[in-house]
Amino acid sequence: MMRKLLFALSGAALCGLALPPVSFAAETPTITISKSDTIALALNPIGGPDSALITKVVQNDLTLSGLFSIADANRAAMTVGGADAGGSLQGKVLDHSGGTVLARAYRGGAREKAHAFANDIIETLTGHRGMAGSTIAFSATRSGRKEIYSADYDGSNVRQLTHDGSISVAPALSPDGRRLAYTSYLKGYADIYSIDLASGARQRIVKFPGTNSGPAFSPDGSQIACTVSRDGNPELYVVNANGSGARRLTRTPGVESSPSWSPDGRELVYSSDDRGGPQIYRISAGGGSGQLLSTGYRYCTKPTWSPDGKKIAFNIREGGVFRIAVLDLASNSTRVLTSGDDARDPIWGPDSRHLLFTRGGNLLLLDAQNGRTVKILDGLGSISEPAWSR
């Protein structure tokens, strides 16, 4: 009952915020909403040896989600608390009258437990999937060369994965976050490599003549889409995750690049300049002809399909400035999300609400619902081409 009510509440809250959709209205006719577009939560410090870290991580996760505001207990709809003892975090969410909304135990590292608790709070109170605990990857020049790094989605646990002194770019994370594929010039040509993140084992998996670049894992992790030019032209290909079984998807005289899979794995979107400036196309994963998606913009690159399947974000170039736009597939309407300096290489997070992108060599998190932007990482030289697990 409580959960149902809260779901309606958050739905109404989102409705008040999102610009075009009207679909939430019918579900929430009788509920009066405060002006706030978020659920107010009180956060009691979590007790135990890692209390400060866990409390901080949970608070940050809840704030970054865009779904909550942290408030005093008397103004909050719920209170989040808990205790960490004997390696186990007992997480709790109580309502006004002290009734238990969520009570669950978490094991693992301090950050891991905190992220899992935060995701449960998000899912229980809003019905939405959280992004806490997800993994990101990117290319950065801290060492003087472009190398691949991974990190937690909130910018903690930065780890340098490659130390090749070559050019390592275009990382992609498998949906489960266990494998990373990327483009490297280690052999002097652009080839696609795959790293098992637990063991560090690396293999060169796509190495046809010409350029092999821009890997993208299918939603089940079994296949990789990429650009291959062995036929005398850059075309989209799909290969098995170990690089075998290459098959060509596109046949155009233009340049195809940056594939991104639909959540059901049946289709891909990509960029092609087959008809003038680069545009976004949609194609069956089995091949066939690409269908142009009408966006209204003349230069569209780097599409990313949201995990909920509803939206495609991409880069546009207007007046020499790169901005991030999002196409809503149901309404076929496009909104521009960024203004100001160049914003590049958007990638959706697992919550289908946030995008990572780069600006001025820093990594930023963009809330596609309200446009709020938070810096996640800097100080690693120039960061480019972020990837995100699902």
Partner 1 sequence: MSNPRFATITRIARLSLAASVVLSLGACASFKKKPEYAGSSDGDFISGSALPDRNESSSFLSESVDKSRFSPVYFGFDSYSVESSEEGKLNAVASFLRNSSQELIIAGFTDERGTAEYNRGLGEKRAQAVRSYLLSRGADASRIQTTSFGAEMPADPGSGEAAWAKNRRAEFGVVR
- To which H or E segment does residue 85 belong? strand 78-85
How many CB atoms are closer than 10 A to CB 263? 16
> Which residue in 102, 116, 114 sits closest to 54, CA to CA?
114
Asked if 5 contacts 12 with a C-beta cutoff of 8 angstroms, the reply is no
> Could you say which residues in the range 272-311 bind partner 1, by CB under 8 A?
273-279, 281, 289-292, 294, 296, 298-299, 301-302
Question: Tokens 């003038």 belong to which residue?
Answer: 276
Binding mask of the shown chain, residues 88 to 127, with x at each position contacting partner 1 by CB under 8 A: ----------------------------------------
Please give the distance of CA 238 from its chain centroid, rounded to a whole number.
22
Q: Which strands, in side-by-side order, build the sheet including 300-305? A: 300-305, 311-318, 321-328, 333-336
At closest approach, how far in Å is the CB of 202 from partner 1? 17
Give dist(CA 152, CA 181) in Å, integer.
17
Q: Which of 167, 329, 336, 374 binds partner 1 (CB under 8 A)?
A: 167
The yes or no reply on residue 16 touching partner 1 (CB under 8 A) is no
The yes or no reply on residue 188 touching partner 1 (CB under 8 A) is yes
Residue type (1 letter), 7: F
> Could you say which residues in the range 53-92 bind partner 1, by CB under 8 A?
none
Give dist(CA 390, CA 387) in Å, integer.
10
At closest approach, how far in Å is the CB of 146 from partner 1? 8
At closest approach, how far in Å is the CB of 326 from partner 1? 16
The yes or no reply on residue 209 touching partner 1 (CB under 8 A) is yes
Instruction: Let me know the angle formed at the C-alpha of 83 by 111 and 350, rounded to the nearest 5 degrees.
Output: 35
Per CB under 8 A, the segment of 34-42, 73-81, 82-90, 227-235 that binds partner 1 is 227-235
- List of residues contacting partner 1 (CB under 8 A): 146, 167, 169-170, 183, 185, 187-190, 207-211, 213-214, 227, 229-234, 251-258, 271, 273-279, 281, 289-292, 294, 296, 298-299, 301-302, 315, 317, 320, 322, 344-345, 384-385
